[in-house]
Amino acid sequence: MRSKNGKTPVFRFKEICQSRLFERVRMENPSNFTKVTVMSYEPSKEELGLKPLDLAKIRSSVSIVIHAGITQRPDISLKDAIFTNINTTQNLLHIVKQIPTLEAFVQVSTVLCHHEEKMVEEKFYNPPLPGHILLSMVKDLPNYVFEKIAPFILCDYPTPSMLTQIVSEDILRREGRELPVALIRVPFLIASYKNP
């Protein structure tokens, strides 16, 4: 979990656990929350800036990884979207390749990133640019140069998050070939009021 809006990952986790969504868990089995280890990560860093002890714990005790850290914020900068959506996916795939007991790597995306398609099929689509090129540009070019070319990179995509989600899906396809991967494209996200 990453820091957000000035809140640490541990604080955010406690807030989530206190939400109405987990009311039933708190009432019936509150010790379940102690089974969760909160790890802070940074999307722009190698291996997501995870501490060596956290990486070792992931490798030794995790078998299913659900990557739902993709941003859909329409106001995010292209640079931040590249780090959050593309770099995070690439680094997570690198990390899970080192998990000997990996059973599944599930990435959550959205059908909205394929806005040009009349019908989104259960297949991977080719991105306008490969992820490694976008990552190289954002890491190697000075900020002022990258900001000048960002509108040309976006082309017909309404938001940076839409473009980078498509590229992130392609990274999953290319770098997750030997892994048990799944891609879930949700049509939209809403809060849950009652249990299904």
CA–CA separation, 123 and 24 (whole Å): 37
DSSP secondary structure string for all residues of 46-93 = GGGG--HHHHHHHHHH--EEEE------TT--HHHHIIIIIIHHHHHH
Q: How is the chain split into domains, by residue range?
A: 1-38, 41-186
Query: Which is higher by pLDDT, 76 or 115?
Result: 76
Phi, psi torsion values for 44, nearest 5 degrees: -85, -5
**DSSP for residue 186:** E
Residue 124 has which token pair? 């991977």
44 exposure class (CB count in 10 Å sphere: 0-12, 13-18, 19+):
middle
pLDDT at position 26 over 90: yes
pLDDT at position 175 over 90: yes
pTM of the model: 0.85
**DSSP for residue 180:** -
Domain range 41-186, its CATH number among 3.20.20.450, 3.30.160.100, 2.60.40.1180, 3.40.50.720 = 3.40.50.720
At 73-93, the pLDDT tens digits run: 888 899 999 998 999 999 999
Phi-psi group of 48: left, alpha or beta (phi > 0 → left; psi -120 to 50 → alpha; rest → beta): left
Phi, psi torsion values for 18, nearest 5 degrees: -85, -5
At 123-157, the pLDDT tens digits run: 888 998 899 999 999 999 999 999 999 999 998 88
* The pLDDT of residue 111: 79
What is the pLDDT averaged over residues 161-182?
93
- Closest by CA position to 109, among listed 89, 91, 92: 89
C-alpha distances (whole Å) from 88 to each of 10, 22, 55, 68 are: 20, 27, 15, 10
CA–CA separation, 49 and 42 (whole Å): 5
